[in-house]
Amino acid sequence: MNAPDAVTDSPVPFVAEHIRRFEETAGQPRPGISDLLLTTRGRRSGQLRRTALAYVADGDAYVLTASNRGADRHPAWYLNLAADPAVTLQVGAETFPATARRATPAEAERLWPVVVAAMPSYAGYREATAREIPLVLVTRTG
């Protein structure tokens, strides 16, 4: 069993590979795409869970898309931060505490075109599912 503060990387193979590439490239695994590492606390396990995600910037906020590649359920990281919005971000070589919140409907309406312009695949993910794909704004704390 992991110690309470040990971080467990995503068990999903392509996400684990993305995390590995992020670490090997000092936070630049995909040229032209802004990536970060997000660490949340598991809502059931209490364990720290890390995943790699693309983001777009909106002022001082990092905008994350809970697309789950168009699946009909929210990704685990989204459910975790909905239960506990205190998260840790790693952007490039910098790691810092942050707070996450779901975008308001007005923010989401404004930000969806920005997100799709940065990652066109999100348009297809949105069409593939009946659920509303949440956008999450994460801001540095402290």
Q: Enumerate the H helices of 25-68 as residue ranges.
A: none
CA distance 87 to 84: 8
pLDDT number for residue 4: 60
pTM for this prediction: 0.90
Least confident of 8-17, 103-112, 129-138: 8-17
Q: Over the range 52-84, which residues count as b (16 or more CB within 10 Å of their CB) and which as e?
A: bbbbbebeebbbbbbbbeeeeebbbbbebbbee
Both structure tokens of 7 = 């971080």
pLDDT number for residue 141: 95
Confidence label for 142 from pLDDT (cuts 50, 70 and 90): low
Cα separations in angstroms, 29 against 24, 41, 73: 8, 24, 27
pLDDT of 37 strictly over 70: yes
What domains lie within the chain, and their CATH numbers? 7-140 (2.30.110.10)
CA distance 10 to 19: 9
Cβ proximity of 57 and 113 under 8 Å: no
As a 3-state breakdown, the chain gives helix, strand, coil percent values, each rounded to 5, of: 30, 30, 35
